Amino acid sequence: MFRICKSIELESGHLLSKHPGNCQFPHGHTRSVELVFCAESLDTQDMVLDFKAIKEMMGDFLEQFDHALCMNTQDPHYEEFRAIYGDRIIPFEKQDPTSEAMAFAVYQHAAAALKRAAKGACNYPVRDCVRLERVRVWETSSSWAEYQA
């Protein structure tokens, strides 16, 4: 099995409404998002997948998190923050925007984007045998969460 990993760094904030400590207050992280793709063979350019294809598939989706605040839609201040900051508030439907929840959200988007790309919705060739193996979201340099189907 061949594997490649694309790491994308972004600055994002969140607050964890359910947390009993300081994480219940708005704070930020320099996050690194790692996407691991695999295939049993290489394409005609001797790649699993072009890194530029990953950037194209994920760019706008991940860009929305940069310098934005992720919030639980059930947080008592969610509507107020959304009214003030608009789309810079990223909703997490009825759940705290933990690194685990973010890894799952990125995985879901990447898996759907990979399927679209394999059907030609990308400027770079993407084979339908390429599989998204996992997504890892680093919250700090020593702490990460991962989702894998």
Give the strand pairing for 131-140 and 27-39.
antiparallel
Look at residue 136 in the predicted model and tell me its pLDDT. Answer: 98
Vertex 145: Cα angle to 142 and 148 (nearest 5) = 140
With contact defined as beta carbons under 8 Å apart, do 14 and 27 qualify?
A: yes
- Measured CA to CA, the distance from residue 22 to residue 24 in angstroms comes to 5
From the CB of residue 36, how many other CB atoms can be counted at a distance below 10 Å?
A: 19
Tens-digit pLDDT profile for residues 24-77: 999 999 999 999 999 999 999 999 999 999 999 998 999 999 999 999 999 999
Residue 94 CB burial class (10 angstroms; 0-12, 13-18, ≥19): exposed
Amino acid at 132: L
As for how many domains the chain has, the answer is 1
Look at residue 59 in the predicted model and tell me its pLDDT. Answer: 87
Q: For residue 71, give the H/E element and its range.
A: strand 69-72
The predicted model scores a pTM of 0.95
- The domain that contains 103 carries what CATH number? 3.30.479.10
Of 46, 44, 61, 52, nearest to 113 by C-alpha is 61
Look at residue 53 in the predicted model and tell me its pLDDT. Answer: 97
pLDDT band for 82, please (50, 70, 90 cuts).
very high
Residue 44's domain comprises: 2-147
**E strands present in the chain:** 2-14, 27-39, 69-72, 89-92, 131-140, 143-147
Look at residue 68 in the predicted model and tell me its pLDDT. Answer: 97
pLDDT band for 19, please (50, 70, 90 cuts).
very high
Tens-digit pLDDT profile for residues 109-145: 999 999 999 999 999 999 999 999 999 999 999 999 9
The 3-state DSSP class for residue 86 equals helix
